[in-house]
Structure 1
Amino acid sequence: MLKGNIHKKNKKRNLLIVFFLTFLGALTIYTLNTRFAPEIIAGDFLPDEKVTQKIDKNKIAQEKVDASQFTLSIYPEAIFEEKSGKGFLHIKNESSNVYPINVKIKIDNTNEIIYETGAIYPGNEVKQVTLEKKLKAGKYKATADVDIFDPKSKKKQGTTQAEMQIIIQN
């Protein structure tokens, strides 16, 4: 019987050692996994800042002012040959502008359009042209209707006008 008690005690002790070692192993695995595992955060969050610079508020304000202003250079007198309709018409869309333009030249007393430039982008100009309508020799009061367009959407944003004199020579 003594042998049976010793055997039971050894069995209990071995079982207790196995449970203790299992508990110790589980505790070690848990500790190692929580210590070195990255923290997982669900959702989309703003990433850390890399290389940025503070924006100058005055510069932004000036850019907005520049974009809202428009400068037109148009020579008020245009001279053409009666037979060919070719001549000098100087219209410049200044490079400081951000808007493309289209200019229509019309005779004041008839409202007849004698020339249309087509798109003139900032930094471009028109100099030598041929009239679309023939005129007889003489001087004509005219108006340049300048249509201003949005550079992205290509939609008309507004119109301005400039007085001109058209001279047709023999």
Structure 2
Amino acid sequence: MAKKKQKKWIVLGLLLLIIGGVFLYFTNQENEPVPVVSAELLPGLRDASDIEIAERAQEIADANYFTLQIAPTAIFEDGESEGSIEIVNPGSNVYPIAVDLFLADSEEVIYSSGSIHPNQQIVGAKLDKSLDKGEYQAVARINIYDPETNERQGITEAEISITINN
């Protein structure tokens, strides 16, 4: 009987050690996040490697990236002549833009660029409305268009200072 009791305690002790070891193993595991890739975001990449997925995600990000270069000042000799409006839609963009320039205090549109496609620029233009001599605070409203549907996709704005010398 004593041997039978001793065996029970040994088996119970081993069982507790095994359960304790399994418990410690699972509680000390680091939870690594599993990357989840949306099929809508990255279609056609069912069995792709991490590198292929990263490359495709970068392509999508690049297609949605937008930059603009616009000079913070525009200078005109007089209210009727061409001046130094500088607007650049870099070739890295995929979106055509159109810029409307309006006076900050009255919101009166004084210049509209028309369509500026990627890799195009405007380096000089005449205002649509004549202004008297002085300095004016204006806002350049940049309309961003879908290259396929020509529907406006967004708007961003930049402040600009206009100087009329004479």
1:74 paired with 2:70, answer yes
1:137 paired with 2:130, answer no
Match of 1:155 in 2: 151
SS of the counterpart of 2:148?
coil
Of residues 82, 106, 110 in structure 1, which corresponds to 2:106?
A: 110
Q: Residue type matched to 2:135 in 1? A: K
Match of 1:84 in 2: 80
The count of corresponding residues between Structure 1 and Structure 2 is 117
Of residues 55, 61, 66 in structure 2, which corresponds to 1:65?
A: 61
Structure 1 stretches lacking a partner, 5+ long: 1-53
SS of the counterpart of 1:110?
coil
SS of the counterpart of 2:54?
helix
TM-score (norm 1): 0.66
- Cα deviation for residue 145 of structure 1 reads 0.1
Distance 1:158 1:83, change over 3 A: closer
Q: Is contact 2:142–2:155 with CA below 8 Å preserved after alignment? A: yes
Match of 2:92 in 1: 96
Distance 1:58 1:98, change over 3 A: same
- Cα deviation for residue 80 of structure 1 reads 1.0
Percent identity between the two aligned chains: 42
RMSD, matched Cα: 1.4
1:125 paired with 2:121, answer yes
Distance 1:83 1:161, change over 3 A: closer
TM-score (norm 2): 0.67
Structure 2 stretches lacking a partner, 5+ long: 1-48
- Cα deviation for residue 157 of structure 1 reads 0.3
Provide Cα deviations, 1:142-161, integer angstroms capped at 9, x if missing partner: 00000000000000001000
Deviates more, 1:113-122 or 1:76-85: 76-85
**Bigger CA radius of gyration:** 1
Name the CA distance, whole Å, in 1 between partners of 2:99 and 2:156.
10
Distance 1:119 1:139, change over 3 A: same
